[in-house]
Amino acid sequence: MSMYQNNSGAKMIGLTKKSKDKKKTKQQEAEEEESSEEETKQVTLVDLLGGGPEESGPEGRSIMFVGDVTEEKAADLISALLVLAQTKDEEDDRAEDIKLYISTYGGSADEMFGIYDVMNFCKQFCDIQTIGLGKVMSAGTLLLAAGTKGKRYVGNHTRVLIHSVNGGSIGELHNLQNEMEQIAGLQESYIQAMSNETSMTKRQIQTLINRKVNVYLSSEEALEKGLADEVWNG
């Protein structure tokens, strides 16, 4: 989990149309490209698993978050969460559950907190099921734990990882001191958030982080520490 932006990872959304008509003018091609870009902006992550927010049922309310926690992917995920959380039938008090599938090695701490805050906002409108598959590490660990209590799942063979916030900077001494203070503040916020979402105390989380190594947890250990509630069986 880094305090600076990680721009790696492919776009999760990139649906554009390409013309097969080679005789079109440059103006027509430019107009089509502009139209295509506008259509792309309107696509959200919910389309990845079939269906849009207007569809009812679980198939239209699932989000797959795979890859690094980057600014681009965080924006896509936040957009999808906000749309789905406030999309419901008129006769219902709350929207149907959102299923958020997570498989990530981690990424930006800033983007992690952005997603985390939006998840907490959305839970006033609907429950969020989180399902950790394969790998849930670093920034992804808090997102798994941030699901609705009782609806957080982890695959039987999923690896979960906790470690301290990483960061680095080059520059004058007073700037380096300022950056270190920022990193320390991010770490404190991370520990507090993890304590809020799990069964671990701040002291227990600090003890894990103080090992100064990546702390890997099995699915059963993740359940014991309150990062998830059940092993996911599909």
Structure confidence at residue 36 (pLDDT)? 53
Strand partners for 132? 102, 154
Measured distance CA(210)–CA(60) in Å, rounded: 42
The larger pLDDT score, comparing residue 195 to residue 37, is at: 195
Task: Tell me which residue of 47, 40, 42 sits closest to 62, measured CA to CA.
Answer: 47
Total domains, the chain: 1
Percent of the chain exceeding pLDDT 90 equals 60
| Alpha carbon distances (Å) from 26 to 21, 64, 94, 166, 173 | 12, 37, 49, 48, 54
Asked whether the predicted pLDDT for residue 20 surpasses 50, the reply is no
Q: Does residue 22 sit within a domain? A: no
Structure confidence at residue 234 (pLDDT)? 75
Read off the pTM.
Answer: 0.74
Per-residue pLDDT of 133-146, as tens digits, reads: 999 999 999 999 99
Structure confidence at residue 175 (pLDDT)? 73
Asked whether the predicted pLDDT for residue 219 surpasses 60, the reply is yes
Q: Does residue 32 sit within a domain? A: no
Residue-range definition of the domain harbouring residue 147: 45-232
Per-residue pLDDT of 40-77, as tens digits, reads: 443 334 344 444 333 444 457 999 999 999 999 999 99
The larger pLDDT score, comparing residue 174 to residue 92, is at: 92
What totals of helices (H) and strands (E) does the chain contain, helices first?
7, 7
Using CA atoms of 116, 121, 127, 133 in order, give the dihedral in degrees to the nearest 10.
-10
Neighbour count for residue 54 (Cβ, 10 Å): 9
Structure confidence at residue 15 (pLDDT)? 27
Q: Does residue 18 sit within a domain? A: no
Q: Does residue 1 sit within a domain? A: no
* Residues involved in catalysis: 138, 163
Structure confidence at residue 137 (pLDDT)? 97
Measured distance CA(234)–CA(122) in Å, rounded: 24
| Alpha carbon distances (Å) from 102 to 137, 143, 150, 199 | 10, 8, 17, 21
Q: Does residue 8 sit within a domain? A: no
The larger pLDDT score, comparing residue 94 to residue 18, is at: 94
Per-residue pLDDT of 147-193, as tens digits, reads: 999 999 999 999 999 998 766 556 676 677 787 788 889 999 999 99
Task: State the CATH number of the domain containing residue 98.
Answer: 3.90.226.10
Structure confidence at residue 89 (pLDDT)? 83
Q: Does residue 28 sit within a domain? A: no
Q: Does residue 208 sit within a domain? A: yes
| Alpha carbon distances (Å) from 135 to 85, 152, 168, 183, 220 | 26, 15, 25, 25, 14
Q: Does residue 2 sit within a domain? A: no
Q: Calculate mean pLDDT across residues 16-23.
A: 41
